[in-house]
């Protein structure tokens, strides 16, 4: 099983928008660009919402059937570890093996030696076509990388081998993710990480490093776009080189755990992908949930009431809502409107404040980030929330499709 050149991670918290999401990819196909969907959901999301990987599989199958989607599609066991993988195995065909927590753990001496012996082959200056600054590999660097990443690499191998033992070789797509870590990985570190993963015979098809800059939840990139792009392009050059040099799968590509909505990066990324003729996996998640709230707000009546209630509860319980996501949020409390004022807003004003349209003067990134993490409130509402999704399905679906197609797919995959 080899994942295609372009793929889009489309998390869907409540499992109602699969068809609306897939429609956006069908539109892209009509435009001549083939992108395959990957429905990603982590253990954390499943447990906060009360859903299971079986539900994610059912949703994907139904959406594919409903739209007559003929291309591949994937269900991603997102950010799994050895303790959480079991629930996903039967229902998923894409596994994001998250080993970020093992970075920096000190490996045993014997393990270090076998890695450093291999890496020593690359000592001196290595010539990687296309990168901005050639790597100067020294013993010190090799040792430092071994001490920082070897335990994580070994853990990835442990989970990968476990998956192979159950699903069989080549019956699933393997991603290794390092992004949930405070330190970005440099292209040089990526070079050694790929060397380590290939030495473990992991057939890795996508890799998610932590990139430079801030990838806050559901708002634009915060950081220097040029620095990001230089790093991104160097990473691509490293991957091209590593595929040949380390005999990794030829479709190996970068995976960007975007936290959704990194609009200022999309066109520059598109240009780099075209320049090097390579693929990418872009993972989004909360952006669809926010479109649900936007659709509800626009719907009027009970829909608008639900949207306002979600904001009020998120505001009143802000510490609790923010807590699992503190490293990927920048909310200025003073910029949040008082829920009592929000109760007097029109649904349209609520939608304009939440929708990620940077040109709209009503748009408020603090409001948006808070609602992003407030999905737990909707889970607690139970039927009241899901009945709202059913009652206002049309207006929500329109927002979900339009958001993915116009704001994500168009700039990133079509360069428009």
Residues engaged in binding Zn ion (CB under 5 A):
179, 257
CA atoms of 323 and 329, how far apart (whole Å): 10
Nearer to Zn ion, 46 or 355 (CB): 46
Nearer to Zn ion, 100 or 294 (CB): 100
Nearer to Zn ion, 259 or 295 (CB): 259
Minimum distance, C-beta of residue 100 to Zn ion, in the bound complex (Å)? 8
Work out the number of other CB atoms within 10 angstroms of the CB of residue 188. Answer: 20
Nearer to Zn ion, 210 or 407 (CB): 210
User: Which long-range CB contacts under 8 A does 127-134 form with residues at least 24 apart?
Assistant: 128/191, 128/237, 128/238, 128/241, 129/237, 129/240, 129/241, 130/233, 130/234, 130/236, 130/237, 130/240, 130/276, 131/187, 131/233, 131/234, 131/237, 131/238, 132/230, 132/233, 132/234
Residue of 223, 216, 253 whose CA lies nearest to 238: 253
Taken as a whole, the chain contains a residue count of: 416
CA atoms of 43 and 152, how far apart (whole Å): 20
- Residue carrying the six token digits 């998120």: 314
Minimum distance, C-beta of residue 241 to Zn ion, in the bound complex (Å)? 25
Nearer to Zn ion, 239 or 285 (CB): 285
- Residue carrying the six token digits 């080899």: 2
Q: Where are the alpha helices (DSSP H) in 82-172?
A: 86-89, 109-119, 139-167
Nearer to Zn ion, 98 or 220 (CB): 98
As given in the structure block, the two tokens for residue 53 are 């990987």
Minimum distance, C-beta of residue 180 to Zn ion, in the bound complex (Å)? 6
Minimum distance, C-beta of residue 308 to Zn ion, in the bound complex (Å)? 31
Cβ-contact 311, 371 below 8 angstroms? yes
Nearer to Zn ion, 284 or 304 (CB): 284
Residue nearest to Zn ion (CB): 257
Minimum distance, C-beta of residue 169 to Zn ion, in the bound complex (Å)? 25
Minimum distance, C-beta of residue 6 to Zn ion, in the bound complex (Å)? 19
CA atoms of 95 and 77, how far apart (whole Å): 5
Q: Who contacts 367 (Cβ-Cβ below 8 Å, separation ≥6)?
A: 311, 335, 336, 337, 353, 354
Nearer to Zn ion, 257 or 355 (CB): 257
Residue of 31, 23, 29 whose CA lies nearest to 4: 29
CA atoms of 159 and 177, how far apart (whole Å): 13
Minimum distance, C-beta of residue 270 to Zn ion, in the bound complex (Å)? 21
Minimum distance, C-beta of residue 96 to Zn ion, in the bound complex (Å)? 7
């Amino acid at each position: 099983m080899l994942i295609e050149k372009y793929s889009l991670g489309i998390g869907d918290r409540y499992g109602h928008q699969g068809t609306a999401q897939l429609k956006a990819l069908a539109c892209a196909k009509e435009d001549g660009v083939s992108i395959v969907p990957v429905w990603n959901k982590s253990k954390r999301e499943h447990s906060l919402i009360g859903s299971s990987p079986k539900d994610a599989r059912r949703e994907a199958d139904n959406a594919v059937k409903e739209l007559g989607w003929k291309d591949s599609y994937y269900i991603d066991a997102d950010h799994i570890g050895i303790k959480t993988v079991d629930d996903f195995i039967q229902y998923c065909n894409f596994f994001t093996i998250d080993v970020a927590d093992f970075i920096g753990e000190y490996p045993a001496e014997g393990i270090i030696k076998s890695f450093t012996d291999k890496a020593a082959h690359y000592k001196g200056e290595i010539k990687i076509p296309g990168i901005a600054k050639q790597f100067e590999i020294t013993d010190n660097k090799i040792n430092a990388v071994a001490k920082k990443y070897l335990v994580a690499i070994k853990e990835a191998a442990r989970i990968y081998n476990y998956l192979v033992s159950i699903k069989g070789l080549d019956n699933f797509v393997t991603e290794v993710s390092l992004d949930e870590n405070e330190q970005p990985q440099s292209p040089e570190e990526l070079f050694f990480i790929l060397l380590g993963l290939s030495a473990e015979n992991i057939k890795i098809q996508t890799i998610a490093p932590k990139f430079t800059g801030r990838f806050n939840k559901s708002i634009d990139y915060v950081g220097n776009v040029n620095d990001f792009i230089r790093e991104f392009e160097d990473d691509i050059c490293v991957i091209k080189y590593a595929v040949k040099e380390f005999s990794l799968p030829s479709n190996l590509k970068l995976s960007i755990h975007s936290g959704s909505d990194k609009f200022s990066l999309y066109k520059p990324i598109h240009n780099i992908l075209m320049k090097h003729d390579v693929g990418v996996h872009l993972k989004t998640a909360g952006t669809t949930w926010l479109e649900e709230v936007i659709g509800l707000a626009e719907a009027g009546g009970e829909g608008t009431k639900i949207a306002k209630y979600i904001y009020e509860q998120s505001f009143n319980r802000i510490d609790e809502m923010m807590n699992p996501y503190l490293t990927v949020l920048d909310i200025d409390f003073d910029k949040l409107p008082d829920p009592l004022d929000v109760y007097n807003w029109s649904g349209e004003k609520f939608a304009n404040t939440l929708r990620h349209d940077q040109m709209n003067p009503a748009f408020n990134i603090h409001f948006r980030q808070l609602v992003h993490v407030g999905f737990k409130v909707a889970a607690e509402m139970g039927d009241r929330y899901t009945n709202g999704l059913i009652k206002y399905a049309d207006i929500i679906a329109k927002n979900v499709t339009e958001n993915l197609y116009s704001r994500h797919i168009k700039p990133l995959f079509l360069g428009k």
